[in-house]
Structure 1
Amino acid sequence: MSRFINWKNDWFSGNFQLFVDGAQRGMIRFSTWRSDAESMFEDKNYQFVNEGFWQSRTKVIDRKTNEVVAIITYDSWKSKAVISLNTGEQYEWKSTGIWKTQFTVSNYKDAHIMYSANSNSGAISSDTDNELLIVAGLFIKQIYNKRVAVLIACLIPVITASVNRH
């Protein structure tokens, strides 16, 4: 069964709104000063809690049961992540477009979610009903976007100082 979901992103806050057939059916809201987030989609409610100095892992907690239902592990050198469900299943998140405007979540068997993005909106095509995987894909996208923003913010003073020396 294919699902089609549209999303909008507030560039400043990083928050997402999820739409099915034109009606808002979910959201992802990020903490103000951290990369932790809370999501609601359909009847599921998850909290994403980052761990580690470089935020190399994220615990996904089902808000109804307070159970850790997944761990997301990030590859710091590539735009890839692994979503490990507490059932033992694993799914790979990876960027597929040259401009980082397309990405997928897949187990390479029976679950495949494709995301496309432009400046502040996009679309999701999913052949699974797993709400956790659908929102986790957008969460991971935002984590990598924040990493790029931090890298740029750190490099600008270095570049400016080296240009001003000469």
Structure 2
Amino acid sequence: RFSLYEDLTVRENIEFYGGVYGLNRKQIKTKTAELLDYLKLWEHADKLTASLPLGWKQRMALSTALLHNPDLIFLDEPTSGVDPESRRNFWMLIYELSEQGKTIFVTTHFMDEAEYCHRLSIMRDGKIVELDKPQSLKQKYKADTMQDVFMKVVQKVEA
């Protein structure tokens, strides 16, 4: 699921990816400390990745993606398979990153999560069939939820 090395610790994974991104030793040390703090991973810093629950692995994967301070971040099903609290916490991190000016693309099959997005697209058979703000789509399709919107879009496309 994630490009993490299970036999390395959290800290070692972050440091490894810092090297992959071409950061020098000082930058790696600084960014590692910043990310361990920002993502609240300090207590797990010296644990093997294999021993972490899925929610923590997702935070760790996000930390490796943030090392080089990208303006654009792609997250593929970031909350799939985690408990409700981890889902909520991960979305809080996504909002924080958005507020920092990052553009974040999230793929999800959870329509309730789609409502958290500023804009969303609905795809069918590899093609974008709708692209708008969640509230606008709900108004357009006279729907209460994004799940209802999705079902109506699918019906329209298949008609």
TM range (shorter): under 0.3
TM-score by length of 1: 0.24
More helix by share: 2
TM-score by length of 2: 0.25
More strand by share: 1
